[in-house]
Amino acid sequence: MREPPPTPPRGAVYERVGPLVRIVGQFRGFVSAPRDVGVRGVELDRLIAEQRDYFAARGEAVEWKVRAHDEPTDLPDRLRAAGFVAEDAETVLVGSAPDMVAAPPLPNGVRVRRVSSGHDLRRLAEMLSAVWGQDWSALADDLGSRIEAAPDDIAVFVAEAGGEIVSAAWLVYFGAADVAGLWGGSTRVEWRGRGIYRALVGVRAVLAVDCGIRHLQVDASEDSAPILRRLGFHEVTTTTPYIWRPGVEEP
């Protein structure tokens, strides 16, 4: 699950750097590490600094994703010492895809459809920007690049009402043969509590099962985690993104 999807999005490159996989060419860089990064102390500080400095030279931010059970245990402290800032932790949940296919009917006037056009992806990004109070505009190009590069590796769905996108989510296939990731899952405040989030889980579960996927994995926010637990997902760990941004003074 730590490996990126098999086919890089358009414009992105996967680079192996020692024990790490570095993804370059997206809206911000990304670093994925094995459970045990394999180095300690000064060597680990050097490895972290090399990634930071690489993206600093490009003028780009970078995310280093850390799980709660990763080694060494002082990795978060060393990332912070190098200028990385922790964002909100998420709960990693795993569920059985066949158990998730059933879903309640959608509210009257709401329909779910799979999308791939630039127009729809921009509308999706605008909805997420409104929901989270942040600029998510780069997501439209990111999703579009993924679909263009490997249309069978990602499926993006929106729920619409009255011509407005009220919720969105996507399914991502990994290199693991029987695991797929659920991403997105954001709903406008006024449409929450009506079964739309659950319906999007069900739609993606059906597609996953049709493709031979047995397990679904989610990095869930504090809003989504309780819903997923009620559906039968099980917590396995937590994950925290550590972000370094250009222009931020190092300690």
pLDDT tens digit string along 18-68?
A: 999 999 998 899 999 999 999 999 999 999 999 999 999 999 999 999 999
What range defines the domain where residue 62 resides?
Answer: 13-89+240-244
- 76 versus 174: the higher-pLDDT residue is 76
- 3 versus 182: the higher-pLDDT residue is 182
Query: What pTM, to 2 d.p., does this model score?
Result: 0.91
If asked whether residues 26 and 148 sit together in one domain, one would say no
Checking 29-33 for CB contacts under 8 A at 24+ apart, the result is 29/54, 29/55, 29/58, 29/60, 29/61, 29/62, 29/63, 30/4, 30/62, 30/63, 30/65, 31/62, 31/63, 31/64, 31/65, 32/2, 32/3, 32/4, 32/65, 33/2, 33/64, 33/65, 33/66, 33/70
Q: How confident is the model at residue 176 (pLDDT cuts 50, 70, 90)?
A: low
Q: Does residue 250 lie in a domain region?
A: no
- % of residues, the chain, pLDDT over 90: 88
Q: Does residue 131 lie in a domain region?
A: yes
If asked whether residues 227 and 103 sit together in one domain, one would say yes
